[in-house]
Amino acid sequence: MDTPSDIFQSRQYKYNRILLSLLGQWPFQKGRDRWTAFVAVMFIGITQFISQALALVTLRGDLDATLECVAPLLVNCLCVVKLTNLICNQKKIKILLMHIQRDWQSWIIDSEFEILYKFAESGRSITIRYASGMYAFGSLFPLLAIIPKIIGRNLISNYSTRPVGFPYHVEYFVDLNKYYYPVLIHNYLTTAIRLTIIVASDTCVIILVQHCCALFSVIRYRLEHIRKSVEQDKELAFLEEDEKIYKNFVYCIRKHEDAIQFANCLETIYKNALFVEVGLIVSMMSLSALQATTDTLTPQLAIRHGGYIIAQLIHLFIVCWLGQQIIDHSDRVYTSIYQSEWYESSSKSRKLLNMIMLRSISPCTLTVGKIMVLSLPSFSAVVRASASYFTVLRSVR
């Protein structure tokens, strides 16, 4: 490891560390382990991507089969975007993780520790729930495809590129009936890897956003509970009362600037990737809805496509919700100043509050390529856009 990372061995960050390590993208991972995991993931993923692209070429002219090929390929593209973003921004992500480590080592008052712990636990809880939901609903599509094979139904597939039990169309230019199980294992292993890439990338954003919100909450606590803060801060014990409050406000300014830089770094890391991701999600949801409304739909296919759509909605919602969290916590700093006992401080101290208020007028945000701010209203807007594209595709078909 490049730097001490004791906090990341704790229960709060354990799952995030494990998920990123499986992909070889944990910044503090040993070089050999990192490259071994990364090469294995890339080899399996690229071979699957090529086989699905070849199947798309093989099945051109068959609209239903083409739609079945396109949706998984879009998921592959989504995974490529997420993994590429992790690779290209690994140094920046490492800096943010080191920032988290530093904050856990340098808290001053007990209330700061409690706030950091609260948000870290929240990040852990969201990580577990999100991962469970994505693995559960994301696995429905491939797992339901293998059920007829498990229960021994003698079904005949209409396509040579997708024998019974195969979740996706693939073309290896070999006899898939002869090499049925090796290819099948490769398909399901790739499915697990794709889900892990999505979950690992998104849960990394979760813990970073939660810590960013914790930084803003520390500032708000210091502003709203001035007396308690200066009493708990042992470094201010020998100063006069007015000087204590002044030093407390200076600390708030530094922490506020720190939190803003953290949020801006997050924005820099994810804005371009989110632009592509949201576009892919809109396309995937529209195509999935189109497949789920075909005339030949069976209950089994309805469950498969339904799970697929729900997984996409969970993915989109969590990204928009995280953007809303940053907006809310950065915006509340302004309100916290009014709720504080600012009137009991000296004019010298009150002038410092103006600096925080001016900067808090514009809340921090996560954006989709600087085009759209991620928030809960954005979630409904993207879902409506997906529904509109689905209607267009439905009418064309």
221-249 residue pLDDT tens: 988 888 888 788 777 777 777 788 888 88
Q: Is the pLDDT of residue 295 over 60?
A: no
- State what percent of residues in the chain have pLDDT above 90: 44
Q: Spell out the domain ranges in the chain.
A: 6-396
The 3-class SS string of 56-96 reads: HHHCCCCHHHHHHHHHHHHHHHHHHHHHHHHHHCHHHHHHH
The pLDDT, as a whole number, for residue 2 is: 45
For residue 136, how far is the Cα from the chain centroid? 17
Q: Is the pLDDT of residue 154 over 80?
A: no
Provide mean pLDDT across the span 132-152. Answer: 84
Q: Is the pLDDT of residue 28 over 60?
A: yes
- State what percent of residues in the chain have pLDDT above 70: 96
The pLDDT, as a whole number, for residue 380 is: 92
HSE at residue 392, side-chain half, CA atoms within 13 A, is 8
The pLDDT, as a whole number, for residue 325 is: 95
Which stretch, 150-154, 263-267, 392-396, has highest mean pLDDT? 263-267
**Alpha-carbon torsion angle 86, 316, 140, 207, nearest 10:** 50
The pLDDT, as a whole number, for residue 206 is: 96
pTM reported for the whole predicted model: 0.91
Closest CA to 54 of 183, 188, 180: 183
Supply the mean pLDDT for the chain: 87
Question: For 18-32, 178-192, 232-246, 314-328, which range has the lowest pLDDT when averaged over its residues?
Answer: 232-246
Q: What is the pLDDT confidence band of residue 357, given thresholds at 50, 70 and 90?
A: confident
Backbone dihedral region for residue 156 (phi beyond 0: left; psi -120 to 50: alpha; all else: beta)? beta
